A and B are shown apart, each in its own frame.
Chain A
Amino acid sequence: MKIDWSEPGLPLSVTAHAVLLVASLVGLSSARPFADAEETLPVEIITADQFSSMTKGERTAKAVQPTPKPRIDKVAEVEQLKPSQGTDQKDVPTPPARAPQISDEVSAPPMPPPRPPDPVKPEPKPEPQKTVEPQKPEPPKLDAEIPKPPEKPQPQKVAKTQEPQKETEKPKPQPPQFDKIAQLLEQKKLEEETKPAKPPAKEKGEQSFSASAIEKLLVSKEKPQASGSVGAQLQKTASLGLQTGNAAKLSPSMRDALAGLLKDQVGKCFTLPPGMDETNIHQAMVRVVFNEDGSLAERPQVASASSDAGVRAIASELRGAIIRCAPYRIPAQFLPFFDQWKDTLFTPPESLG
């Protein structure tokens, strides 16, 4: 084919396209694949509050429970004293061996000081003390078997040894006239402490030799430091959770209703100190921690930071009123939300202000 040079468009165009096609086949043959993107893990940050009110359940659970409750590993000995649930076991006062009267005292912090005289009295007669002392190590074993694994005894031993030490330290200053006897007693106590500390393990092995118990101990892989969650009732079975994924929350209207109820009840005991300036009355605030039955879990504390003497007077008057009026009647409908009203700030009831 002869090329007409006056009109070279067609052959030129064809060759140019052919060259471009070939170049695209060779040079631009394929798109470079994307670099492999690494899988990302979604991370959610939740507050401690959200965590404690979570009822989403655990993956290892076998069935959905009709009334799911958060997992509780151990019955709380002093109920809801501390806002945080995950307190270390070592911190929890463990008086399971004591007689019921003593455990009553434990809940009231100011009481302990008068107690030391009790151990002092029996001092002249060392015999009853001996009988008292050996009793201590025994009950804890029984208790210890219920909740826990093999590691358990160790912390308990530590707790045991610490407690008697406290008791022995306290008596020291009080009876100086009984110095020698006290020294002897201390020596004896120390001896006893070291002795009974070991036997429990042996005794335990002898007493409760059952395959199931050992299996139970073996299965548990919890570390000795694990605090476990503490609550009112034991809840060992994991739950698959609720559909909503969160515990119920106090609605604003219910919150108002509860606040009104409490104010009404406090109002019966509260009178404004005479001659008080009422303008700053709302600055007076008292922090109250409740038990589930409406009684006070601890002494109310003045929470207002005002330096005004009037405000302080009103706040302390309010605190007295709150203590006088306890326990409070709280309708059952608010019980599921106990977490949200157990710690409440009180202001003076307006109607009486």
Chain B
Amino acid sequence: MNPADVAQSALPAFAPNLSIWTLFWQAHIVVKLVMIGLLFASVWCWAIILNKALLYKRIASAMDRFEDVFWSGQSLDELYRDLAETQPTGMGAVFLAAMTEWKRSLEGASKAFGSFAARVEKVMDVAIQRETERLNRGLMVLSNIASAGPFIGLFGTVWGIMNSFMAIAASKNTSLAVVAPGISESLFATAIGLVAAIPAVIAYNSFHARVLNLQTRLEGFADEFSAILSRQVDQRLAA
């Protein structure tokens, strides 16, 4: 057999198959763990992004609807009765908390109007905090993935490159064909880290701004409603 033929037929066997799958399987166990962890981080991060985007959209439209109804001149007692049957979110929850307090103040034999304004404010603050907490839930995860993802990926890369250099030292062969696959697979870890972190950064920043926006709207509504309620109290006291 011609030696040239032998060399040619032997070549394909040596040529490494550099698909993403082989990159993963040939990697060191630590690098593999890093890759798997980053993959889960990415899945989680996108789940949060989708959920939060839908949630904010729902809450914003619910607020719009509630404000329309609230300022339409409908009786507040009727609105209260409608909302009490459901589990309202956003402004509805704040309104419900304030109205509940209003009802309780009226219920007793002696009407407790003395520090009503302060109490209503507190109740509404608590409701707003609860709503804001619900909006903020999960954003911490996004922020963590955004900041730590690249570092974790970098760790996998450093570990993989360290490992492949050790292998080079052991085999005493420094040709690029030997060095390249190890470096390539370890760089893959950084790539996954960046893939997970970049959407997380963008989503975290925009979601944070939206939460602040919604919170101001809630606070504004709370101030207006407490003003309305205290006016009612003053009118009743005068009457």
Q: Interface residues, chain A, CB within 8 Å of chain B?
A: 6-10, 12-14, 16-17, 21, 24-25, 28-31, 33
Contacts and interface: CB of A to CB of B under 8 A. Distances in A.
A28 B51 contact: no
Contacts of A17: 39, 42-43, 46
Contacts of B52: 9
Contacts of A30: 17-19
A25 B50 contact: no
B167 to A, nearest CB: 21
Nearest to B45: A13
A20 to B, nearest CB: 9
Interface string B41-74: 0111111111110110010000000000000000
B21 interface: yes
A25 B17 CA distance: 12
A9 B19 contact: no
A351 B214 CA distance: 101
Contact of A13 (B19, B44, B55): B44
B20 interface: yes
A285 B21 CA distance: 81
19 contacts: A7-B55, A8-B50, A9-B46, A9-B47, A9-B48, A9-B52, A10-B43, A10-B51, A12-B47, A12-B50, A13-B44, A13-B45, A13-B47, A25-B20, A28-B20, A29-B20, A30-B18, A30-B19, A31-B18
A25 B21 CA distance: 7
Interface in B19-52: 19-21, 39, 42-52
- 4 closest pairs, A vs B, by CB? A9-B51, A9-B50, A13-B46, A9-B47
A12 B52 CA distance: 13
A7 B51 CA distance: 5
Nearest to B17: A30
Nearest to B21: A25
B102 to A, nearest CB: 30
Residue from A7, A9, A28 with most neighbouring chain B CB atoms (10 Å): A9
A10 B42 CA distance: 11
Contact of A24 (B15, B20, B47, B49): B20
Nearest to A17: B43
A50 to B, nearest CB: 35
A13 B17 CA distance: 29
Residue from B42, B46, B48 with most neighbouring chain A CB atoms (10 Å): B46
Given A28-B20, A30-B18, A8 B46 contact: no
Contact of A10 (B17, B47, B54): B47
A12 B58 CA distance: 18
Contacts of A24: 20
A16 B46 contact: yes
A214 to B, nearest CB: 40
B51 A8 contact: yes
Nearest to A28: B20
Contacts of A6: 54, 58
A12 B43 CA distance: 9
A28 B50 CA distance: 26
A14 B20 contact: no
Contacts of B15: 33
A8 B54 contact: yes
Nearest to B48: A9
